[in-house]
A and B are shown apart, each in its own frame.
Chain A
Amino acid sequence: MTAAEHHPALPAGLRDRVLAATLRVRAVGRPEPAAPEISPAQAFSRAADAFYGMLGILQAADWRRPALRELDVQGLVGHLTGVEEDVHRGLQGDPDVAQVSHVGSTQAAADRQSGRPPAQTRAEWRRAVDGTLALVHADRDPGDEVAMHGMRLPLGMLLVVRAFELWIHDNDIRHAVGLPPSVPDPSTLSLMTQAAAQLLPHAAARSGLREPASVHLVLTGPGGGTWDIPIGQSPAAPDPNAIVIVTDALGFCRLVANRATPGSLDLHITGDPDCAAMVLAAASTLALD
C-alpha cells in the first residue's frame, strides 16, 4: 500500500499558504536559537582574552615547541604582535602596510622574541592588542575601510577576521603543547560564519571560479545559519539548481582557516560535486597564516 493510499491529497493552495505563514514568524537564514548579537570589536576582544588566558597556562618549555611554519610558540605570538602593529598602521592610514605580506611583514616581530622571557612576549602582545582596541574605540565607524596585507576590508569585517585568526592560532598553540582545542562562543562563531559566507565569492573568484553558480550554504549547530551565495556572475537569490552544501559551522570555520580538509568534515552535498569541491577548496584559501 502506498503513502498516497494512506493519506488524502492535500487541498490546492495549502502548501503555498503554510510555507508563506512560516516565513511570517521566522526569516529565512536566521538560526534558531539565535546567538546573542555582539559587535565585531567584542568578538575580537573575546578572542584576545581567550588567547591571553591560554598563554597564561603555558609552561616555560611550551614556548619553545614548534607551532606553525618555522615558528615556535613564542615566535607565533611575536608574529601576532607584528600583525597588531600592522593593524595600528592600517587604522592610521599608513599606505605602506596595504600591500605588504602577512607573513613577511611580521617576521621581524617574530624574530625579536628569540631569547626573551615568555612573560615579556606575552605582555608585549597584550599591549599591542590593547592598542588595537583603543584605536577601534576612538570613534571609528565599523564601515571604514582598512587596507592591510593585501586586503581592503571594512573595519568590522577586519576585526572579525582578526578574531578568527586569534582563535586559529590559539588552537595551533594548543595543538603544539597538547592542550584540548577551544571553541568560540556562539556569538563570535556566528560573526565568523557570516564573514566566511560574505567572503566566499571573493575567494571563489580568486581561485578561478568564473562560471556562474549559486551555493546554498547551510551551516548547522551553534553559530550557524543559511546563505544563498552567488559565485561568478550569479545573482544573489535562492536558486532551485543551487549547489547545496550542508556542514557544521565549526568544521566549516576550520576549513576556511585551512585547518581542516573537506574530507574531514561531515559534508552533505546536493548538486554538481566537482563545482562543490572547487567552492570548498576556494573557501580554504581565505586563511591567513
Chain B
Amino acid sequence: MLATCSPVDDLIPGPSGIRSDTDALLAARLAAGDHAALTEVFDRLAPAVYGVALRVLGRHATAQDIVQDVFVELWSHPGRYDPGAGSLRGYLTMQARHRAVDLVRSEVRRAARQERSSRLEPRQPDPAPHERVMASEAAAAVRAAIETLPESQRRIVELAYFRGLTCREAATAAGIPEGTAKSRLRLALARLGTVLDRQLLESS
C-alpha cells in the first residue's frame, strides 16, 4: 500500500514495522542522514528545548548555545536517542536541562572560587546589574538543591561556598576536624549532583 501526500506527523503507515511511531521514523531518518528530518525536528521541538534552557539559565545567549549543542548532538549521534525509552521531545528537553544545570553548577563553583580568591586581592569594581542577576539566578538553582542535603552536609557547604571560608576555616567554624569537613564536602557535592539530576528528570 502506498501512503499519500502528508506532513510527517500524519504519515499514513505501511503494513508493519516502524509505521506506528513518528519519533521512531524520525530517528530512523536521522540515522539515514536525512537532514530534512532534522529540520522537521528543529521546527517542532526547538522552542521547547530553548524554553527549558532559558528557564534554567535565564540568559538568552547561553540558552541559544544549549539549543545548538543539543541539535548538533542529535545529528552527530542519532542512535543515542532510543524511541523505545520515550519521546523525542522528552529526550531533547532532558538533554537541554542536563546541559543547562551542568552549566549552572560549574558557574557556581567558579563563582565560589573567585569569591575565595577575591578576599586575598584588592577589591574589584562592583559587577554590572545584569551580572548580578545572572549570578543570583544561578545561585538560586543550586541553593534549592542544597536545601535537600542533610544538615551536617548543608552546614559545611554553606560555610565553604556561601560564606567563602576555606575548608580549614569551615571545619573550625563547624567544630569538626578538617578531614571530616573535607569528607562531608565531597559527599555533599556528590549528593548535590544527584539531586540536581533527579530534579531535572522529574521535571522532564
Selected interface stretch from B23-31, B158-166, B170-178: B23-31
**In the complex, how many angstroms separate the beta carbon of A34 from the nearest chain B beta carbon?**
9
* B59-76 interface bits toward A, Cβ cutoff 8 Å, 1 = contact, 0 = none: 010001001100110011
Task: Please give, as numbers and ranges, the residues of chain A lying within 8 Å of B5 by CB-CB distance.
Answer: 269-273
* A1-43 interface bits toward B, Cβ cutoff 8 Å, 1 = contact, 0 = none: 0011011111100110111011101111111110000000000
Are the C-beta atoms of A8 and B47 separated by less than 8 Å? yes
* A237-268 interface bits toward B, Cβ cutoff 8 Å, 1 = contact, 0 = none: 01000001011100000000000001111111
- Total interface residues on B, CB under 8 Å, equals 49
**In the complex, how many angstroms separate the beta carbon of B114 from the nearest chain A beta carbon?**
29
Q: Give residues 179-220 of A contacting B (CB, 8 Å).
A: 216, 218-220
Are the C-beta atoms of A269 and B68 separated by less than 8 Å? no
- Total interface residues on A, CB under 8 Å, equals 53
- Give A17's nearest chain B residue, CB to CB: B68
Are the C-beta atoms of A22 and B32 separated by less than 8 Å? no
Given contacts A14-B50, A267-B3, A273-B4, contact A22 B29 (CB under 8 A): no
Task: Please give, as numbers and ranges, the residues of chain A lying within 8 Å of B35 by CB-CB distance.
Answer: 19, 22-23, 28, 226
Q: How far is the CA of A95 from the CA of B169 in the complex (A)?
A: 94
Whether, in the assembled complex, B85 has its beta carbon less than 8 Å from a beta carbon of chain A, the answer is no
Are the C-beta atoms of B46 and A15 separated by less than 8 Å? yes
Are the C-beta atoms of B4 and A269 separated by less than 8 Å? yes
**In the complex, how many angstroms separate the beta carbon of B141 from the nearest chain A beta carbon?**
18
Given contacts A8-B50, A18-B67, contact A25 B72 (CB under 8 A): yes
| A-B contact list, 23 entries, CB within 8 Å | A3-B48, A6-B47, A10-B46, A10-B67, A14-B50, A14-B64, A18-B46, A19-B38, A19-B42, A21-B71, A28-B33, A31-B32, A32-B79, A216-B34, A218-B32, A246-B29, A266-B19, A269-B2, A270-B7, A270-B8, A270-B11, A273-B2, A276-B2
The 7 lowest CB-CB distance pairs between A and B, nearest first, are A7-B47, A220-B28, A266-B14, A7-B51, A22-B75, A266-B17, A224-B32
Please report A residues at the B interface, Cβ cutoff 8 Å: 3-4, 6-11, 14-15, 17-19, 21-23, 25-33, 216, 218-221, 224-226, 238, 244, 246-248, 262-273, 276-277, 280
